[in-house]
Amino acid sequence: MKPRFADPAVRPQTERFDLATLNEPQRQAVLHEGGPLLVLAGAGSGKTRTIIYRIARLIRDGVPAQRILGVTFTNKAAAEMRERLWSIAGGDGAKVRLSTFHSLAVAILKEELKAAGLKRGFCIYDTGDQLSLVRELMRQVRVADRRLDAARVLDLILRAKRERKAEIAIDTGDDYELAAFDLYPRYRAQLAAFNAVDFDDLLLLAEDVLDTPGPRERWSSRFDELLVDEYQDTSPDQLKLLKILAGSEKRVCVVGDDDQSIYAWRGADAKNILIFSNQFKGAREIVLDQNYRSTGFILAAANQVIKNNSGRKPKALWSDAGDGEPVDVVACTDPNDEAAFVVAQIQRLLADGEVKDEIAVLYRANVQSRIFEEELGVERIPFRVVGGQAFFERKEVKDALAYLTVAMNPRDEIALRRIINTPPRGIGPTSVLRLAAAGEASGRGLWSALKEAATVSDLPPQAVVGAAQLVGVVERSAPGLRRAKRGELSHLAGTLFQELGLRDHVLAADDAPGLAERRLENLDEVVRSLERFERSVAADVPILSEYLTSAALTNADEGEEEDQAGRVTLMTLHSAKGLEFRNVFLVGVEEELLPHQRTVDDAAGDLGEERRLFYVGMTRARRRLWLTHVKTRLKHGKPTPRTPSRFLQELPEGEGVRRRNRDDPKGDAESEKLAGDFFRNLRANLGIT
């Protein structure tokens, strides 16, 4: 696997283990022995490097690699760490157990299936599945006609579940609370009936399991050393898991930055950093505040902004890299103008010899990306959009996987509903309703109702035929799929998709040019990802269940790793965390976008988190940083006046920040320069092509 953001200056291919290359606090963190350790690592302070070195140091001092557990927040981070460990510690580095909290929880649940109260082949529901379930329940309970947003209902349910509430408290008594109150027990009952768990259940159940004597002993003695990256993003449940796994020795090292906590909406609690010393008695605390990434002006601006947050560990990043160029704050007239400005600047950077991999456009919401995609496309500047839609969440991919899921676990009615009429086989919404009612009445569920479709009253004949066909295909293929071992699964799945006519269905569905081909490509990629998966597992064990779990927990665009070099990067602020670029455009820095509307509206909204998000975005930049905002933006088709983000007022005054207005005559010099650059660039391009 190649690193996505290879930069020789920061991530050498082979890293030599040399303590002299570390600064004093980094060295202390690496050498610290025994008890709990909290490393407060500011943005760009060499955090990951410190963790890698620490692991390498532990191995060198005789800790068996397989008794070291490194927990990261994303699969991507785990993969990157694995690679760097390999380069610094060789074969032993590869034996270190690196995983996310969620995949660790799955490992625990699979090993302790009984204690967890689960059956083999349980499914993991992602947010889309959760939403489908809530929507379905809303229909059943007839709250649908009140037109509630299922996502908000789900949010309330998940919150209660995380807090292990027996029922949802009625507080304000609004429609959402009432709906959530009704649906909460049903949601949980349905998951149990489907032999399914959602993301939160993974952690909650793992916690329950480790609360019982047997498993507790087994797991708390399994690792000698624990390391947690991005500790500020851990939830209370993850903290509990960590405490159990740490056992009595408590050799725990956590690394994080409270200023970069941006996942509170998903249950993370930055307080975990503040309370670390209470949770782990005798903890040592080390602060890494020397920044090796950004220029002085960028750091000064970022420090000045984050200072306004309360309840943080006071610290200010410093650097000896010099002031650099001022931060540019640019007022544009509208999103078109903003995109034009950004792309013109990018042209100019490229003309000056900057490389595309070192340029990023960051935004708050995914919807903002489109106009930049268009503008870059017009100028023929290669780009990539990170995160937009994860591979395993694309419709055609989910459809294909749903077939495999149903083969594994026919009780999963969310997966079953997804495929029941895809490709169309005459079972429309009304027929599904009837079948579901029949399944409910018999108490044996939707799948058995499908099997007995002929006996279901009022079902149109073509629906009966369709049901028989679906049941036939699944029942013929399921036993083989479930038993399939390495070298068999991908072939069986490919045949199944063929037999179902999934490829034809995908190919026939779309009218946008090229889209159908892309979808077909995605579908074929499922088979290829199965092949890849087969190569990565041991022989002679059934692997379908393993594959489905890994698909549920992986967000990576598999197979799209190649030819991503030489492109400008477009992504959300959330997905930018942990990355860095020489040149960063942070766009749409406006009220209602950053801070986002919802956090301003919500009484419980956390303005601090929005500010941290802004801070994270700023600190991605190594040399140049542009902050842009627009004066009008279309909202529901109407042009709406916009105000610059309040965070822009928190920036320092003076030479470190340069404010400009795109339609201001004073900016003419700038635009003339831009025009000049444009033609210069054009000539350069023509010269090459």
Partner DNA sequence: AATTAGTAAATTTTT
Partner DNA sequence: TTTACTAATT
The residues that touch DNA, with contacts defined as CB under 7 A, are 73-75, 100, 102, 126-128, 131-132, 135, 147, 150-151, 199, 265-266, 364-367, 387, 389-390, 393-395, 398, 421, 424-431, 458, 460-463, 511, 553, 555, 572, 574-575, 596, 598-599, 636-637
Q: What is the dihedral of CA 329, 332, 338, 340, to 10 degrees?
A: -110
For DNA, the closer of residues 319 and 431 by Cβ is: 431
Q: How far is the CB of 387 from DNA (least distance, A)?
A: 4
d(Cα 491, Cα 261) in Å, to the nearest integer? 44
Question: In whole angstroms, how close is the CB of 175 to DNA at the nearest point?
Answer: 15
Label the pairing between strands 97-100 and 68-72. parallel
Of 225, 230, 375, 610, the catalytic one is 230
Chain mean position to CA 335: 26
635 is catalytic: no
Q: What are phi and psi of 473, to 5 degrees?
A: -60, -50
Residue-wise burial string across 16-54, b where 16 or more C-beta atoms lie within 10 A, e elsewhere: eeeeeebeebbbbbbebeeebbbbbbbbbbbbbbbbbbb
What is the smallest separation between the CB atom of 273 and DNA, expressed in angstroms?
19
Q: Is 82 a catalytic residue?
A: no
Looking at the Cβ atoms of 63 and 414, the one nearer to DNA is 414
Distance CA 500, CA 493 (A): 10
**CA–CA separation, 381 and 355 (whole Å):** 11
Stretch (H or E) spanning 182? helix 175-193
Distance CA 565, CA 4 (A): 8
Q: In a 10 Å sphere around its CB, with 0-12 CB exposed, 13-18 middle and 19+ buried, how is residue 634 labelled? A: exposed
Q: How far is residue 7's CA from residue 96's CA, in Å, rounded to a whole number?
A: 24
Known catalytic membership, residue 47: yes
Burial class (CB in 10 A: 0-12, 13-18, 19+), 556: middle
Beta carbon of residue 510, minimum distance to DNA (angstroms, whole number) = 9
Work out how close the CB of 464 gets to DNA at its nearest, in angstroms, rounded to a whole number. 10
**Token pair 């960063």: residue:** 584
φ, ψ for residue 360, nearest 5 deg: -135, 140
Least separation, in Å, of the C-beta of 75 and DNA? 6
CB burial of residue 144 (10 Å; 0-12, 13-18, 19+): middle
Type of residue at 540: D
Q: Of 415 and 481, which CB lies nearer to DNA in the complex structure?
A: 415
Residue 616 contacts residue 43 (beta carbons within 8 Å) = yes
Q: Which residue among 15, 47, 112, 631 is the active-site one?
A: 47
Pick from 240, 235, 198, 197: nearest CA to 219? 240
- The residue among 173 and 424 lying less far from DNA, judged by its C-beta, is 424
Q: What angle do CA 567, 572, 574 make, to 5 degrees?
A: 125
Token representation of residue 236? 């209370």
Give the Cβ contact number of residue 502 at 10 Å: 21
The neighbouring-strand residues paired with 361 are 570, 585
Instruction: Tell me how far, at minimum, the Cβ of 381 lies from DNA, in Å.
Output: 22
With residues binned 3-state (H G I as helix, E B as strand, rest as coil), the percentages for the chain, rounded to 5, are 55, 15, 30
Q: What's the N-to-C CA distance of the chain in angstroms?
A: 32
> Which CB sits closer to DNA, 559 or 605?
605
**DSSP for residue 625:** E
3-state secondary structure at position 381:
coil
Q: Is 357 a catalytic residue?
A: no
- Separation between Cα atoms, residue 405 and residue 415, nearest integer Å: 7
Q: How far is the CB of 431 from DNA (least distance, A)?
A: 3
Please state the closest distance from residue 58 (CB atom) to DNA, in A. Answer: 24
Question: Which residue, 323 or 452, has its beta carbon nearer to DNA?
Answer: 452
Element (H, E) at 167: none
Distance CA 62, CA 60 (A): 5
Q: What is the 3-state secondary structure (H, E, C) of 496-558?
A: HHHHHCHHHHHHHHCCCCCHHHHHHHHHHHHHHHHHHHHHHCCCCCCCHHHHHHHHHHCCCCC
- Check 26, 260, 295, 628 and give the catalytic one: 260
Catalytic residue among 620, 622, 631, 662: 620
72 an active-site residue? Answer: no
Q: Which is closer to DNA, CB of 387 or CB of 652?
A: 387
At closest approach, how far in Å is the CB of 231 from DNA?
Answer: 14
Shorter beta-carbon distance to DNA: residue 3 or 426: 426
Closer residue to DNA, CB minimum distance, 637 or 665:
637
Query: What phi and psi, each to the nearest 5 degrees, are found at residue 67?
Result: -100, 15
The catalytic residue among 26, 48, 72, 422 is: 48
Nearer to DNA, 429 or 641 (CB): 429
What's the min distance (Å) between Cβ of 6 and DNA?
A: 20
Instruction: Give the nearer residue to DNA in terms of CB position, either 506 or 543.
Output: 506
The nearer residue to DNA, 199 or 280, going by C-beta atoms, is: 199
**Alpha helix stretches (DSSP H) within 386-428:** 395-408, 413-419
Respond yes or no: is residue 230 known to be catalytic.
yes
Minimum Å gap between C-beta 217 and DNA is: 27
Give catalytic residue positions: 47-48, 229-230, 260, 620
